[in-house]
Amino acid sequence: MSDRIIEPRIALVVTRDTDRDTPTVLLVREDDDREWSVPVSSLPPGGSVLSAAWTAFALTGLSNVRPALLGIHEEIPEGGGPHALTFAVQYRAVGEQTPTDQTIPAGWDAAWVPLAEAAPTLRRDLGEAAAAPLFDDAAPRPFFTATAFRDDAPGDRGDARTTRVNVRVAVRDDAGRLLLTQGRKGAFYVAPGGHLERGETLRGCAAREVAEETGLHTAVGPLLALNDQYDGRKREIILEAVFYGTVAGVHPAVFVATDHDGYRREVRFASPDEVAALPAVFPALLRGWGRTLPDTLPDTYTANVR
């Protein structure tokens, strides 16, 4: 999907818990007549979830925050138009910090609001599942990872010129094995996935890509992770949403599938021990399949086709 069609955004959920009895959340409003809301920042071309931390710094003056993914929400207009994709990310103040300067745009107000008072706004802006774990360290939530590849290419994240959104699916069969396809260069295995098409939800894209690459039909489940990648050769940020998925039955351990481009690739279902023994697996967090990764997570992905 082209950059003109998709509009990635970051909902910046900035929190402080220096006083454990009254944790607070940063809310903003444009003027006195508007409702308080979670600040939302549009990602410019080349922008990433990591770069949105700088916006959080500017809003709060805090110098040390830790990002965590809360969920993803998308709005897709039925008749065409921009596809809004919002990543809800918590930036949590660490230690005994207080804001030094709230450098918000002219005409805007910002306030630290006690969690109990902010809860209805958080549920409205983020959804129940995303708002629930803000101050619960034990609450399960999607993983947030940041990686770089093609390290031989010059430059760093600040040199990125475009931002792209991908989807991948960690599919398990009834035996608990992970579905992987062999990369075109043969040196690594990857969870099936690909790019969004016009008018397609992330979850719809996930199911389509699995079918095209493997011939299997999967039930796409909760959001597992967001991987914020930097491709130095293309000078591109790739925001990759990874979902859980399931296929019914027990399938051959290894088979060959032909995709819609006519490319034949090896497909395999790998046990946790086999995943750990492969030379390279992408996304890398799938190394923990059946070991450190949970079997599922609460569903923090929502989509609205309007």
pLDDT of residue 100: 45
Q: Are residues 198 and 268 in the same domain?
A: yes
Name which of 262, 261, 255 is nearest 179 in CA terms: 255
pTM confidence score:
0.86
Q: Are residues 114 and 217 in the same domain?
A: no
Q: Are residues 123 and 248 in the same domain?
A: no
- The DSSP bridge partners found for residue 236 are 162, 231
pLDDT of residue 155: 56
Q: Are residues 63 and 119 in the same domain?
A: yes
- For residue 50, being part of any structural domain is answered with yes
Per-residue pLDDT of the chain (306 residues; tens, 9 = 90+): 444 578 888 888 888 776 667 788 888 887 766 789 988 878 878 878 777 666 656 665 655 566 788 888 888 877 666 788 888 888 876 555 555 444 555 667 778 888 889 989 988 888 777 777 777 777 888 888 877 665 545 556 667 778 888 999 999 999 999 999 987 666 789 999 998 887 788 999 999 999 999 999 999 999 999 988 877 778 888 889 999 999 998 888 988 887 777 778 889 999 999 999 988 898 889 999 988 888 888 888 888 776
Report which residue type is found at 61: G
Within 8 A by CB and 6+ apart from 144, the residues are 49, 67, 68, 69, 89, 225, 226, 228
Is residue 1 within 8 Å of 197, Cβ to Cβ?
yes
Is residue 122 within 8 Å of 40, Cβ to Cβ?
no
Q: Are residues 273 and 191 in the same domain?
A: yes
Q: Which of 131, 157, 175 is the last residue in one of the domains?
A: 131
Quickly count: other Cβ atoms within 10 Å of residue 290's Cβ: 18
Q: Which of 81, 109, 131 is the last residue in one of the domains?
A: 131
Q: Are residues 37 and 121 in the same domain?
A: yes
Domain count, the chain: 2
CATH number at residue 82: 3.90.79.10
| Alpha-carbon span 130 to 293, nearest angstrom | 20
- For residue 92, being part of any structural domain is answered with yes
Is residue 60 within 8 Å of 99, Cβ to Cβ?
yes
Q: Are residues 163 and 275 in the same domain?
A: yes
| Alpha-carbon span 214 to 255, nearest angstrom | 9
Q: Which of 73, 97, 131 is the last residue in one of the domains?
A: 131
Q: Are residues 179 and 119 in the same domain?
A: no
User: Which DSSP state fits 208?
Assistant: H
- For residue 96, being part of any structural domain is answered with yes
- For residue 39, being part of any structural domain is answered with yes
pLDDT of residue 5: 72
Range(s) of the domain holding residue 295: 143-300
Q: Are residues 203 and 91 in the same domain?
A: no
- For residue 170, being part of any structural domain is answered with yes
pLDDT of residue 2: 42
- For residue 82, being part of any structural domain is answered with yes
Is residue 258 within 8 Å of 243, Cβ to Cβ?
no
How remote is the C-alpha of 8 from its chain's centroid?
Answer: 11
Q: Are residues 291 and 148 in the same domain?
A: yes
Q: Are residues 107 and 215 in the same domain?
A: no
pLDDT of residue 62: 59
pLDDT of residue 3: 44
- For residue 98, being part of any structural domain is answered with yes
| Alpha-carbon span 203 to 303, nearest angstrom | 9
Is residue 67 within 8 Å of 153, Cβ to Cβ?
no
Q: Are residues 51 and 107 in the same domain?
A: yes
- For residue 305, being part of any structural domain is answered with no
